Amino acid sequence: QVQLVESGGGLVQAGGSLRLSCAASGRTLSNYGMGWFRQAPGKEREFVTAISWSGGTTNYADSVKGRFAISRNNAKNTVYLQMNSLKPEDTADYYCAAALLAIATKDHEYVYWGPGTQVTVSS
């Protein structure tokens, strides 16, 4: 069993930056692929980025490439999402998730989810 909780969301102006954190309790995250998803009101949940804690590889949605960066600190059982050059279209609830795959890009491949944190980007 793994519990995940996100933090770091808030209100930021377009062009600004935020760093989200995902803290895990329960099992170590060493054998889990980790990912971030987001969902705006009335829209489908969308893959943002993923990282393999074993292989050290990453994957990004085209919409965030060059602006967002996922990272990990296994000693702290924590995953981060650094978000730069934020745009109003980045506004959404952001969710951290853990998968039983090295890299997973589909939400059905994830087995544990955090409750989410709100990110609002104003123009």
Per-residue pLDDT 10s for the chain (123 aa) are: 899 999 999 999 999 999 999 999 987 777 899 999 999 999 999 999 999 976 689 999 999 999 999 999 888 889 999 999 999 999 999 999 999 999 999 999 999 999 999 999 999
Please choose, from the candidates 24, 32, 30, the residue with its C-alpha nearest in 3D space to the C-alpha of residue 3: 24
Burial 70-107 (b: 16+ CB within 10 A, else e): bebeeeebbbbbebeebeeebbbbbbbbbbebbbbbeb
Please say whether the beta carbons of 18 and 9 come within 8 A.
yes
